[in-house]
Amino acid sequence: MDEDHISHGFRPKRRNETQKERVPPGQHVTVDFPILSAGPTPQIKIENWKLALQLGGSLVRTWNWQDLESLPQTTIKTDIHCVTKWSKLDTSWQGVTFDDLFDSSGISRPLEPYIMAHCDGGYTTNVPVADLVGGKGMIVTRYDGLPIAPAHGGPARLLVPHLYLWKSAKWIRRLRFMTADERGFWESRGYHNYGDPWKEQRYDGD
């Protein structure tokens, strides 16, 4: 999910040139990991945590913490980009890809073209299923080899690194398949419905 940058003529690029290619327009690189949330940080015990997959009013599958941990674990290094214009490079995450999650639920192909992610605290965000499968999206439980801190979305959050970070919903608890697209929390408040950092899709009309 991260990109390798190879210079023409096999000449190594300067660090700032390589970073420039990896940072979308209007963004600046930070070494910190700013904490931005729409509400208070929930304190969730993993023994009480469950993730549900829903189609319409029907429950397809639920996973408790042990179920999720027993699935194939994938580690990636990727850049992340916040709509507030900071980017953090080479972040390391571990968790379960949507491909493995769907496989474990017995779904041979996505049931509908969109998903709404529902989180503790009432936050929601909508994502096309095409942006989750094929290794593009994950449910992550570790950052830099350690459990994700509650302020950063622990114990588990969505990770869709090729979209602005508000799409990587914190405190994920339910995934709902949708036949037609619906807008989530920020999308219904003027944020762009898709959120491609490279196209600067921050707000409606971008």
pLDDT tens digit string along 134-143?
999 999 999 9
Q: What is the dihedral of CA 119, 175, 193, 148, to 10 degrees?
A: 50
Contact 162, 137 (CB under 8 A): no
Q: Is the pLDDT of residue 38 over 80?
A: no
Question: Integer distance in angstroms from the first to the last C-alpha of the chain?
Answer: 25
What is the rounded CA–CA span in Å between residue 128 and residue 112? Answer: 9
Q: Is the pLDDT of residue 181 over 60?
A: yes
What is the rounded CA–CA span in Å between residue 124 and residue 117? Answer: 5
pLDDT tens, residue by residue, 48-88: 999 999 988 889 999 999 999 999 999 999 999 999 999 99
- Range from 22-26, 37-41, 57-61, 112-116 carrying the lowest mean pLDDT: 37-41
How far is CA 34 from its chain centroid?
A: 16
**pLDDT over 70, % of the chain:** 89
Give the pLDDT band (50/70/90) at residue 157. very high
pTM value is 0.87
- Residue 90 one-letter amino acid: D
The predicted pLDDT at position 155 comes to: 97
Give the pLDDT band (50/70/90) at residue 3. very low
Q: Which of 170, 198, 197, 199 is nearest to 184 (CA)?
A: 170
Q: Give yes or no for a cis peptide into 161 (omega within 30° of 0).
A: no
Which domains, from first to last, does the chain contain? 48-199 (3.90.420.10)
Show the CA angle centred on residue 128, arms to residues 175 and 176, nearest 5°.
20
pLDDT tens, residue by residue, 86-128: 999 999 999 999 999 999 998 877 789 999 999 999 999 999 9
- 3-state SS record for the chain: CCCCCCCHHHCCCCHHHHHHHHCCCCCEECCCCCCCCCCCCCCCCHHHCEEEEEECCEEEEEEEHHHHHHCCCEEEEEEEECCCCEEEEEEEEEEEEHHHHHHHCCCCCCCCCEEEEEECCCCEEEEEHHHCCCCCCEEEEEECCEECCHHHCCCCEEECCCCCHHHCCCCEEEEEEECCCCCCCCHHHCECCCCCHHHCCCECCC
